[in-house]
C-alpha cells in the first residue's frame, strides 16, 4: 500500500495557475486509478478528476474539465493536477486519492481507499 503526499498549493491571484503534485511512496503502476478531490469551505468534498496509471483517458468533472488537467510521471510516481484560469470559487483544500483494484468508475469518495493529507489552494481577486 502506498502513501500519498500532496504539495503545490498556495495563494494565487484570480486568473493565475497552479500545479498540484501527489507523490506516491511506491509505484503508481500498482494503482488502478488516482483521483483528485476538493473541499470548499462549508461544503462536502467533491471529485474533480481521475487518472489511470495503467492507461486510459483521464476523467473530469464537467464543472472543471475546461480548466483542470491531470497527468502522471511514472518515473517519479507522481500525479499532477494543473489548474488554469483560477477563480476565487476554486478556493478549497485539494486532496489526492488512490485505488488499487479495478472498479467501473473512480469518481466517488467511496471508490478510493488511500488518501493524502491535502494541500490548500486560496484564490484571491
pLDDT at 55: 87
The closest alpha carbon to 81, from 41, 3, 32, 23, belongs to: 23
Local mean pLDDT, 10-residue blocks, the chain (125 residues): 96 98 94 97 96 93 97 96 97 97 94 97 97
Q: Is residue 44 within 8 Å of 30, Cβ to Cβ?
A: no
**In 3-state terms, what secondary structure has residue 111?**
helix
Per-residue pLDDT of 109-124, as tens digits, reads 999 999 999 999 999 9
95 sits in which H/E element? strand 92-99
DSSP string covering 14-83: TT--EEEEEEESS-GGG-SEEEEEEE-TTS-EEEEEEE-TTSS--EE-TTTTTTEEEEEETTTTEEEEEE
Amino acid at each position: 500500500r502506498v502513501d500519498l503526499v500532496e504539495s503545490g498549493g498556495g495563494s494565487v491571484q484570480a486568473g493565475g495557475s497552479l500545479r498540484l503534485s501527489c507523490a506516491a511512496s511506491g509505484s503508481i503502476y500498482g494503482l488502478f486509478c488516482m483521483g483528485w478531490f476538493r473541499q470548499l469551505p462549508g461544503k462536502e468534498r467533491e471529485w474533480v478528476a481521475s487518472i489511470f496509471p495503467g492507461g486510459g483517458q483521464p476523467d473530469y468533472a464537467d464543472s472543471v474539465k475546461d480548466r483542470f488537467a491531470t497527468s502522471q510521471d511514472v518515473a517519479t510516481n507522481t500525479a499532477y493536477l494543473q489548474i488554469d484560469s483560477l477563480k476565487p470559487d476554486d478556493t478549497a483544500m485539494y486532496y489526492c486519492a488512490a485505488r488499487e483494484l479495478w472498479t467501473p468508475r473512480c469518481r466517488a469518495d467511496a471508490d478510493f481507499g488511500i488518501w493524502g493529507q491535502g494541500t490548500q489552494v486560496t484564490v484571491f481577486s
